[in-house]
Amino acid sequence: MTEFRAWLLLLGVPVLVVALLLWLAPPRHNPFAPIDLTDRIGFGTKAKLERARDQPEVCFAALDSAAILYTRLEDDPKGQKCGLRGALTLDRTLTPYSATLSMTCAQTAALYTWERHVARPAAVDIFGSPLARIETYGSFSCRNIAGSGRLSEHAHANAVDISGFRLEDGRLIDVKTHWKQGGPEAKFLKRVHEGGCDIFSVTLGPDYNAAHADHFHFDMGNGGVCR
């Protein structure tokens, strides 16, 4: 019995410590706290975004609380090779995009988090100019992963490709042109790429392969890659 109590104590104390730390931690560091897309990125952000992927109504409520404007789309029939489910057309966030984006709610929530807390602050910090527009190759596309027979996350509206950034002072920061060029442009691109790794399930850039030489791929699939 004494040994059993010792084991209970040994196992129980760490659990209590973790529970206390979560209770005292700011919400952004607590993975079990409600999702607030306006809150700064913390240790719990990625887990909360992954939870939003599995709880669409919680996700849409988070978009509403962040004042993101969107048009919700009807689900396509199940069994389709490609389809929109739990998806929307993005109407407005803090920064315009160069193309219309149709994405899942979870992908939208992650993209907004990255835009608000990574890309926009980085532009002001490095260039002293706010972002005017984010250049994109789009989101939903019924296609396979390049060079494979597997469907891309784009086929499920669960990915977006970002090719560049237009600043309010007119400058264009282009992934293909500036990734390896050095200087403030490369510094900015490295920062927004690394910031994506803290938010999205999969973040791919020019160092991944030739197919991504001119853009960043961000998705909220079930993978776990930062390259």
The C-alpha torsion from 174 through 180 and 183 to 184, rounded to 10°, is 40
Among 110, 94, 106, which Cα is nearest to 59's?
Answer: 106
Instruction: Provide the pLDDT confidence category of residue 20 given band limits of 50, 70 and 90.
Output: very low
pTM of structure:
0.87
pLDDT tens-digit map of 116-139: 999 999 999 999 999 999 999 999
Identify the residue whose tokens are 């600043």.
167
pLDDT at res. 22 = 45
pLDDT tens-digit map of 131-187: 999 999 999 999 888 777 789 999 999 999 999 999 999 999 999 999 999 899 999
Q: Which residues have C-beta within 8 Å of that of residue 29, sequence separation ≥ 6? A: 42, 43, 44
Percent of the chain surpassing pLDDT 90:
73
